[in-house]
Amino acid sequence: MYTGKVRRYPRADLASVVTIDSPEPDGGRLLLNSADIGIGGFRVFATRPLGIGRVLSADLVLNSRVIRTLVKVVHGAKTQSGFSYGMEFLYLEPADQESVKLYVLNNSPTFGKTPNVSMVH
């Protein structure tokens, strides 16, 4: 969906597994699928509301590596099957940032060269 805002960090259409803390007290962890990934964050699909502005603990699985980080829910939209949320990394260790970058580049050889790269919210 185009909102007129250009991303600081483009994302590639890549799927991965993400677990996040439930925004509900004692809600445990939620297992989600990402739809796109970039060095600034990722988008996930969820069946329940997560809450815009919330800060959540997240584990992003890239190949066999698990990247543990904090994310902020910065954008949300209703979909036919639930919700789509944009998550911004609040901090990534330099090695984790490099892992995300390499994952995107190695799994999306046309990253940044085709319209399939999501450039806007």
Looking up tokens 């698990």 gives 66
- CATH 2.60.40.1230 corresponds to the domain 6-98: no
DSSP letter (8 states) at residue 115: T
CA-nearest of 72, 115, 112 to 91 is: 72
pLDDT at 18: 94
* Cβ proximity of 48 and 81 under 8 Å: no
Tens-place pLDDT, residues 92-109: 999 999 999 989 888 886
Confidence of residue 121 (pLDDT cuts 50, 70, 90): very low
Task: Give domain limits for the chain.
Answer: 6-98
